[in-house]
Amino acid sequence: MAETVHTEKPSGVLIRHFSSGEESSLLDVLNDALGSFADAQRTRAALSSPRFDSDGCFVAEENGVPIGWVAATLLPRDKWFVIRYLSVRRATHRTSLVESLLARAITHVESKKPEFLRATTPAIQPYVDAYRKFGFKPLRRDFRIVWKVNEIPDIGDARLETQEVTEETIDRASNLYLRALSPYWDWRTEEEGGIATVANAIKEDGSRRARWFLSSLDKEPAGLVGIIPDYYESGVAWFRGAFVDPEHRGKRIGSALMFEISKIAKNLGQSKMVVYTFSYLDSLAPGALLYLKTGGKIEAEYLQLARM
């Protein structure tokens, strides 16, 4: 771990711990500070999840009004942490406050004797520079990609048989999901605590009203897609991703899955889909490439960074 960089907070500004009940105020700050880079719906869900640690959430307040915040949260793997939501109103004029908030979050994590610490931030200033100042180095890029459902190209595959995942087929879907993640998403599997934890992801997704669909080729599972209808607003879905079994890669199954999910989305009354996916620093990962080739547009870019 890098040494802590000490900063001074601006005079007249108080940095304090998060107080239960002020989630809406923090979402307002996030939206004001980050604009289109903010995702209020997913952030709201994170603030109410068991992973959220109020002791690791710090709020900057000026004259009794929140103007910035940051949260440090334990990842599913023991002693692994992530810092996110670093946001300050008019941040370009308050870089010292950005750094002071980040310093508080890092100090909190260091008190837990971490084995690993990373951060996620929009790829905008002054946040990226603040993380660099504290010894963080870029690991990966994240994209928010958006489609208009009716613009996804008709690249179907008549051989595919697609059915919604049921209790009888959920184990087959989970096994395919695990196979499809490797090797590109091995880093996430490690963060999530290993294969056993990730294997339950699809089952747990049901609590968020997710619908998963398994596509088979010659009676064997070939691909998987998921969607949460009306997640962001009526008609705007959270697309949970397209996953292709390694044995079927290179057969245009991914493009066929995207056409399948476009039909499913239309039947569910969705006009737009949103997905978050990672990519490498110097090239596109296969998932991002598939999404862009099938009409997706990059709406926002983020960085994952690790403290070295």
pLDDT, residue 193, reads 86
Tell me the average pLDDT across 82-101: 97
Distance CA 95, CA 86 (A): 12
| Whole-structure pTM value | 0.91
pLDDT in tens, 38-80: 999 999 999 998 889 999 999 999 999 999 999 999 999 999 9
Q: Which domains does the chain have, with CATH numbers?
A: 13-134 (3.40.630.30), 145-301 (3.40.630.30)
Hey, what amino acid is at 133?
Answer: K
Cβ-in-10-Å burial (0-12, 13-18, 19+) of 77 comes to middle
Where do the H-state alpha helices sit in 37-185?
40-47, 95-110, 127-133, 170-181
Cβ-Cβ contacts under 8 Å for 158 (sequence gap 6 or more): none
Would you put residue 58 in left (φ > 0), alpha (ψ -120 to 50) or beta?
beta
Distance CA 184, CA 43 (A): 25
Q: In which residue are the tokens 């997706």 written?
A: 296
Say yes or no to pLDDT of 9 above 70.
no
Q: Which two tokens stand for residue 150?
A: 């009716």
Q: Which two tokens stand for residue 54?
A: 């109020």
Give the residue among 246, 247, 223, 227 at the shortest CA–CA distance from 237.
227
pLDDT in tens, 185-220: 999 999 988 888 888 888 888 778 999 999 999 889
How large a percentage of the chain has pLDDT more than 70? 96
Distance CA 130, CA 127 (A): 5
**How high is the mean pLDDT of the chain?**
93
- The CB density around residue 166, as the number of other CB atoms within 10 Å, is 10
pLDDT, residue 140, reads 97
Cβ-Cβ contacts under 8 Å for 189 (sequence gap 6 or more): 181, 182, 195, 198
By residue count, the chain amounts to: 308
What value does the CA radius of gyration of the chain take, rounded to a whole number of Å? Answer: 20
Are 303 and 151 a contacting pair, CB within 8 Å? no
pLDDT in tens, 126-138: 999 999 999 999 9
Q: In which residue are the tokens 């950005």 written?
A: 98
Cβ-Cβ contacts under 8 Å for 13 (sequence gap 6 or more): 60, 61, 62, 67, 97, 100
